[in-house]
Amino acid sequence: MSTYTAAPRDLLSFGDICEAEFLYDVHARADARALTREEASAPFARKKWQIDEAVSYFVPLGPTDESYVLAHGRPRTALLLSDDCLIETALGRDGRDPSGRLLFAPVAPASQDTLDSLDELPTYGRFGLRSDEVHAEHAIVELRRCFMVDARDVAALADGFSVRSLTDETRDGLALRWAAYAIRRGKFVVEDNLEKFGELLLDAGIEQAAAERFAVAVAAAAAAAWRYEGSGIEEAGLAFDQGNPPFPVVERLEEQLQDLLKASTAALDEVVRMKAELR
Amino acid sequence: MPKIARSVPGFLTNVELDQALGSPRTRQRWEADGLLPRGRWIKGFQKRLGIYPDILLARVVAGVDAQESEDAVREAMRIGARLIDSRLFESVASLLEEHLVEYRGLTRGVLDHLAEADLLAPLEEELAAAEESLEAIGIAFQSRPATVTMLGPTLRVVDGFGAQTLLPATQVLGIVGAGEVVTLEEVRVGARGLSYVLPTTTTAATDPAEEIWAEMFAGVDRAPVVIPVLADDTEPDANGGDVVRMRRRIRVDLPLASYAGANSMASRSRAPA
């Protein structure tokens, strides 16, 4: 499975790996302080630092109306976590001026051992990116250390900000992990919860195969619900945005509800069977 | 706000004036011709030293005929002559006479003696008043502190605002050393001008740029804030604060395809390049 597309997507997108001098995983600690900006004149800057322009300097002076803060952070390669719809709006692709902020997560280089460990004991806040034919180094997306960047500055950048894009499959995995970390929903959380519940079933004397069959069926219903919401209902909204006719949407909803019904029926059968066994 | 400490002498000795004119003979001839007033001379220890108000440099700038500015230059010479005859110059001469053996012209030693005797400030005041009256008739004087950054055939000085000026050594009137704080003087008579460097009593340890830096912070009228800075010792790959999905006795791992096509973070209209 490839992690990255052969070339970055034409438009900046969810999951793109980005590089710029101003990408810092800034975060506040107890020593964060509001800063006041002052200015050293151009003649002074020339004398002191051989810089031919006025130079701002910052002084921590308590509450201030200015939006500068002394905080912690490191320069990072970062992955864009905002969704494609928000990116469109924030970057002003709809004709308006760029505004708002985009969400990024730091991307750290990782060893093979680290990725193997993460596979063995995955966490909600980290997502591994394996090397492939496009990029030869392993990396980890640190969802738990995300930070925001002003969209105006991203929009002002020329080409080169996005250095790699994820394949659709990798983006699906990233979205699921992000849902797990951000809102505790989706595949990763469902499966974690059902694995925990499996411990109870085994302790209650249920056979492992039966416990696994039960968990998989219940998880499959959740997956069908995910598809129904993320595809069928999502397309209903998209049809409005794109001025598409409603009939194909209704057909698609019917199809996905049938899938959901089938998966729910299978899950219900397993739940009823388990209920009987536990009595 | 602290200002750059300096003392501009406001006067020259015959050594500097001769240097500005090219030779003692030129000065003597100009004095004989009435172009320059004769200075006040101090004698002793087999030495002689003449002192002159620096406004006489207007004649050096203008030459023997200042043409349309000649009246203004003559006025400068008249004021200069009055100053030479003043009680103030008499006091200066009396004081310097005691130390004449030390002098080879206008040196920091001369200025230090005048400063110790509280004569520098009145001199500056008197000369500033004279310069002001001359500015009204077209003779301009400018003086700003600077630091000597290079000595040699060409002298480089940098003023407190970082502006760099290169001057031939002949325009260094007095004895100055590298790193020394001097005054960068300029006299303009109509379209003609002369820049030159004079020593001051300011010590070389005073850096004009640092003084300005101090002034900038002196203008901040707020109480200092002490911030205990927290060391960020978190390892980049540490799991702290993250929830780990533990390995359990049953494994539930549906294929990613079960969730495919439902990624609402990614636009369906955007295909890979």
Nearest-by-CA chain A residue for B239: A123
Tell me the pLDDT tens digit for each residue of A183-196: 999 999 999 999 99
User: Contacts of residue B266 in chain A, CB cutoff 8 Å?
Assistant: 13-15, 83-84, 168, 171-172, 175
Task: Examine the predicted complex and report whether its ipTM is higher than 0.90.
Answer: no
CA distance B158 to chain A (A): 8
Comparing CA positions, the residue from A137, A198, A195 lying closest to residue A163 is A137
The residues, any chain, with a CB within 8 Å of residue A74's CB and separated by 6 or more, are A24, A25, A106, B236
Q: Do A212 and B267 touch (CB under 8 A)?
A: no
Picking from A3, A38, A77, A84 by the largest number of B CB atoms within 10 A of its own CB, the best residue to mutate is A84
Helices (H), chain A: 42-49, 84-90, 112-120, 151-155, 168-183, 187-203, 208-227, 234-242, 247-278
- Interface check for B3 against chain A (CB to CB < 8 A): the answer is no
Q: Do A11 and B266 touch (CB under 8 A)?
A: no
For residue A95, the model assigns a pLDDT of 87
Nearest-by-CA chain B residue for A82: B265
Mean pLDDT (whole number) for A140-159: 92
CA distance B236 to chain A (A): 8
Task: Measure the CA–CA gap between A144 and A187, rounded to whole angstroms.
Answer: 18
Task: Measure the CA–CA gap between A163 and A15, rounded to whole angstroms.
Answer: 11
CA distance B197 to chain A (A): 20
SS3 B226: coil
Task: Measure the CA–CA gap between A122 and A140, rounded to whole angstroms.
Answer: 12
A219 pLDDT above the threshold of 50: yes
Comparing CA positions, the residue from B95, B29, B86, B101 lying closest to residue B53 is B86
- Interface check for B253 against chain A (CB to CB < 8 A): the answer is yes
Picking from B227, B247, B270 by the largest number of A CB atoms within 10 A of its own CB, the best residue to mutate is B270
Q: Do A227 and B251 touch (CB under 8 A)?
A: no
Listed range (A29-38, A104-113, A168-177) with the worst mean pLDDT: A29-38
Structure token pair of residue B253: 């791992």
- Interface check for B242 against chain A (CB to CB < 8 A): the answer is yes
- Contact B82/B134 with Cβ under 8 angstroms? no
Structure token pair of residue A152: 């105006």
Task: Measure the CA–CA gap between B211 and B222, rounded to whole angstroms.
Answer: 20
Which of B237, B270, B272 has its CB closest to that of A108?
A: B237
Give per-10-residue mean pLDDT for chain B (273 aa): 46 83 88 91 79 88 83 91 90 80 69 78 82 86 76 70 71 68 81 79 49 56 53 62 90 94 79 39
pLDDT band at A229 (very low <50, low <70, confident <90, very high): very high
Which of A11, A47, A123 has its CB closest to that of B242?
A: A123
Which residue type does B89 have? F
CA distance B129 to chain A (A): 30
Please report the residues numbered 80 through 109 in chain A whose beta carbons come closer than 8 angstroms to any beta carbon of chain B: 83-85, 88, 108
| Mean of pLDDT over chain A | 92
Instruction: State the SS3 of B135-198.
Output: HCCCEEEEEEEEEEEECCCEEEEEECCCCEEEEEHHHECCCCCCCCEEEEEEEEECCEEEEEEE
Tell me the pLDDT tens digit for each residue of A27-81: 998 888 888 777 777 777 776 677 788 877 777 665 666 788 888 898 889 999 9
Q: Do A198 and B250 touch (CB under 8 A)?
A: yes
For residue A63, the model assigns a pLDDT of 61
Phi-psi region of A135 (alpha: psi -120 to 50; beta: other; left: phi over 0): beta
Task: Measure the CA–CA gap between B175 and B199, rounded to whole angstroms.
Answer: 7
- Interface check for A19 against chain B (CB to CB < 8 A): the answer is no
SS3 A108: strand
Please report the residues numbered 221 through 240 in chain A whose beta carbons come closer than 8 angstroms to any beta carbon of chain B: 223, 226-231, 234-235, 238
- Interface check for B234 against chain A (CB to CB < 8 A): the answer is no
- Interface check for B268 against chain A (CB to CB < 8 A): the answer is yes
- Interface check for A53 against chain B (CB to CB < 8 A): the answer is no
The radius of gyration of chain B's CA atoms, rounded to the nearest angstrom, is: 34
- Interface check for B235 against chain A (CB to CB < 8 A): the answer is no
- Contact A107/A139 with Cβ under 8 angstroms? yes
What pairing do the DSSP bridges indicate for beta strands A55-60 and B40-44?
Answer: unpaired
**Angle at which helices A208-227 and A247-278 pack, to 10 degrees?**
160
Task: Measure the CA–CA gap between A220 and B259, rounded to whole angstroms.
Answer: 9
Q: Provide the sign of the torsion angle of the four alpha carbons A264, A266, A267, A268, taken in this order.
A: positive
Q: Do B253 and A191 touch (CB under 8 A)?
A: yes
Q: Do A169 and B256 touch (CB under 8 A)?
A: yes
Comparing CA positions, the residue from A271, A173, A145, A45 lying closest to residue B259 is A173
Structure token pair of residue B128: 């500033």
For residue B101, the model assigns a pLDDT of 64
pLDDT band at A228 (very low <50, low <70, confident <90, very high): very high
- Interface check for B239 against chain A (CB to CB < 8 A): the answer is yes
User: Contacts of residue B230 in chain A, CB cutoff 8 Å?
Assistant: 29-31, 72
- Contact B26/B17 with Cβ under 8 angstroms? no
For residue B109, the model assigns a pLDDT of 72
Q: Bigger pLDDT: B239 or A167?
A: A167
For residue B4, the model assigns a pLDDT of 36
Q: Do B249 and A38 touch (CB under 8 A)?
A: no
Task: Measure the CA–CA gap between A212 and A222, rounded to whole angstroms.
Answer: 15
Task: Measure the CA–CA gap between A141 and A125, rounded to whole angstroms.
Answer: 8
What pairing do the DSSP bridges indicate for beta strands B181-189 and B139-150?
Answer: antiparallel
Which of A85, A144, A228 has its CB closest to that of B242?
A: A144
CA distance A98 to chain B (A): 19
Please report the residues numbered 189 through 228 in chain A whose beta carbons come closer than 8 angstroms to any beta carbon of chain B: 190-192, 194-196, 198-199, 201-202, 208, 211-212, 215-216, 219-220, 223, 226-228
